[in-house]
Structure 1
Amino acid sequence: MPLFDPITSPQNPRIKNLLKLQQKSSERRAQGLTIIEGLRELTIARGAGIEVAALFVCSELAGAGRQQQLRELVANSVTDWFEVSKAVFEKVAYREGSDGVLALVKPPLLTLEQLPLPAAPLLLVLEAVEKPGNLGAILRTADAAQATAVVVCDPRTDLFNPNAIRSSIGCSFTVPTVATTRAELLAWCRKHGIRTYAAALTEQAVAYTTCNFRGPTALVMGTEADGLTPELRQACDHTIIIPMRGAIDSLNVSTATAILTFEAVRQRENQVPAS
């Protein structure tokens, strides 16, 4: 792989560009790139077929063993390798205790029509998600449950925000993820016979345990601050709740999504075979 002179100045143009990509979604969109920090996350992304455009490695932090793993990880690919001093790396690292590995990758950009659908898809739908940490946690749930896809309607953060990738521990790349609009999602679900279940605190809502999630299903979640918009909630086929037994009336959206998702998984694993 190509090697370059070590980068020892924070004024280096490549370092300045890394900071732009970290901080601005507009730059990530314009360049078609995002950042993965950490060998574990990068290994998961590579396992999902993601190509690495460039590596920025701090030998002092990464150590010989981790660097050898990196070389094996990107073997037979055209990947630029930049050695970065510890002082400079600490300026571009976006988490504490970094392992000295940072990669530039081209994320996959899918549309709804490109999603491969099994006979009974299980979709996790998020409306206007704005916290990368919540998005990352939900992607981890989707990966663990082997959900068909995560669909984000009218997102307020881009799907491959570096902090979302970090929170997902790389599952941003193992789960098909699509950004779309509310109208497009609803039309697409109707076209494919996918039943939509809006999680919302309303008088009409029924307990999630009374619902049948064995067929084509979309679990539709809103933001913690505002919940679902009335337009999306009313357009869904069903409204469901997770009954609360204490003083609070709701859960963190990533926790609620996990509960609903694994109820769907439980039901699907316990289907009675057709006679």
Structure 2
Amino acid sequence: MAPSARPSGRRSRIESLSNPLIKRMRLLREKRHRRAEGLFLAEGLRIATEARETGILPQWLFATEEGAAHPLARALIDAALAHGGEVIDTTPAILSKLSGKDNAQTVVGIYAEPALGLADLDRTAAPIWLVAERLRDPGNLGTMLRTGDAVGAGGLILLDDSTDPYGVEAVRASMGAIFTQKLVQTRWEEFHVWLRAGPGQLVATWLGDDTLDYQAARYEAPTFILIGNESQGLPSAYAAAADLRVKMPMMGKADSLNAAVAAAVMAYEVLNQRRGV
């Protein structure tokens, strides 16, 4: 028997803010509704195209007339319909309501939230992994995802009570890297057990004693770069559990770097050492 064809999607038009689907999708700006639905919102043709190029397509795609006319949008619409998605032609006002921005993008996609755990990660698939502990700023989270994409990292592991990576601000800041990087949310205890069950060097950025200059240390693949909370840094117990504790020289009055900047500096140092191997 021949395999059944994938059901084709449908295309419709919505212009009313009181439409039930619009009301439902607007609620995705709130974390509890994202969790309940298992969905998140990503705005902009660039981000949606990044997702399509990795094989990820929206379940719902909202587009204005201007947005739908772009060649990349036409390709996205065709792919979404072919994979059973729903395309909704709509107005700029509705897209503003969905995204929460007055100057909304012309395309908004609604995607299924990946349900990844540590057991789903192949630690040997990449030489670098980023790990962030209690990361609170969605802009920092998005920037870390972009950094991970840039250096060929496997993904980002969020520890403890970090900000929601699928919030609109974090997704926007990731510039599409939310779709190219593996992302797992877990607790320190589970992460530490998983890490020690296989290969992996844990490197903590740490301002305390017993640290190496970040360029003097030697990194072994896979390297897990551990970055602490923006205001409090890492708990001492987490730093003590690392294989290496490193710090970057601070020549001015500031005593530490922004968390996302520190992650980028560390990731590129590890990348540079790996390029020399």
Q: Name the TM-score, length of structure 1 as normaliser.
A: 0.91
Unaligned runs of at least 5 residues, structure 2: 1-8
Are 2:10 and 1:10 equivalent residues in the alignment?
no
Contact 1:8 1:84 in 2 (8 A): yes
Contact 1:50 1:106 in 2 (8 A): no
Instruction: Give the corresponding residue for 2:27.
Output: 20
Q: Secondary structure at the match of 2:42?
A: strand
1:118-157 deviation line (CA, Å, top 9, x unaligned): 2773211000112111110000000010012211111432
Instruction: Give the corresponding residue for 1:55.
Output: 61
How many residue pairs get aligned? The number is 268
In 1, Cα distance between equivalents of 2:81 and 2:61: 12
- Identical positions, percent: 32
2:209 to 203, 206, 216: 203
- Displacement of 1:63 in angstroms is 5.4
- Displacement of 1:217 in angstroms is 1.5
1:134 to 126, 140, 148: 140
Q: Secondary structure at the match of 2:215?
A: helix
Contact 1:196 1:219 in 2 (8 A): yes
In 2, Cα distance between equivalents of 1:183 and 1:202: 22
Which range moved further: 138-147 or 80-89? 80-89
Does the C-alpha gap of structure 1 residues 120 and 136 become closer, same or farther in structure 2, counting only changes over 3 Å?
Answer: closer
In 1, Cα distance between equivalents of 2:116 and 2:127: 17
- Displacement of 1:213 in angstroms is 1.2
In 2, Cα distance between equivalents of 1:16 and 1:256: 40
Are 2:272 and 1:269 equivalent residues in the alignment?
no
Contact 1:50 1:107 in 2 (8 A): no
| Aligned partner letter, 1:40 | R
Are 2:225 and 1:219 equivalent residues in the alignment?
yes
In 2, Cα distance between equivalents of 1:241 and 1:21: 39
1:190-218 deviation line (CA, Å, top 9, x unaligned): 11131211112112222111111133321
Are 2:41 and 1:35 equivalent residues in the alignment?
yes
In 2, Cα distance between equivalents of 1:96 and 1:191: 48
In 1, Cα distance between equivalents of 2:103 and 2:67: 11
2:169 to 149, 163, 184: 163
Instruction: Give the corresponding residue for 1:87.
Output: 93
In 2, Cα distance between equivalents of 1:72 and 1:148: 30
1:158-211 deviation line (CA, Å, top 9, x unaligned): 222222111111101101111111011111111113121111211222211111
Contact 2:77 2:87 in 1 (8 A): no
User: After the TM superposition, which segments of 4 or more aligned residues of structure 1 sit over 6 Å from their partners?
Assistant: none
2:188 to 178, 182, 186: 182
Contact 2:126 2:154 in 1 (8 A): no
Does the C-alpha gap of structure 1 residues 182 and 96 become closer, same or farther in structure 2, counting only changes over 3 Å?
Answer: same
In 1, Cα distance between equivalents of 2:96 and 2:184: 32
Unaligned runs of at least 5 residues, structure 1: none
Alignment of 1:57-76 (within 5 A): 57-59=63-65, 61-62=66-67, 64-66=69-71, 67-76=73-82
1:35-68 deviation line (CA, Å, top 9, x unaligned): 1101110111122221311111121x42522542
Contact 1:150 1:176 in 2 (8 A): yes
In 2, Cα distance between equivalents of 1:96 and 1:134: 23
Does the C-alpha gap of structure 1 residues 29 and 119 become closer, same or farther in structure 2, counting only changes over 3 Å?
Answer: closer
Contact 2:80 2:87 in 1 (8 A): no
Contact 1:125 1:150 in 2 (8 A): yes
Q: Name the TM-score, length of structure 2 as normaliser.
A: 0.90
1:117 to 115, 123, 131: 123
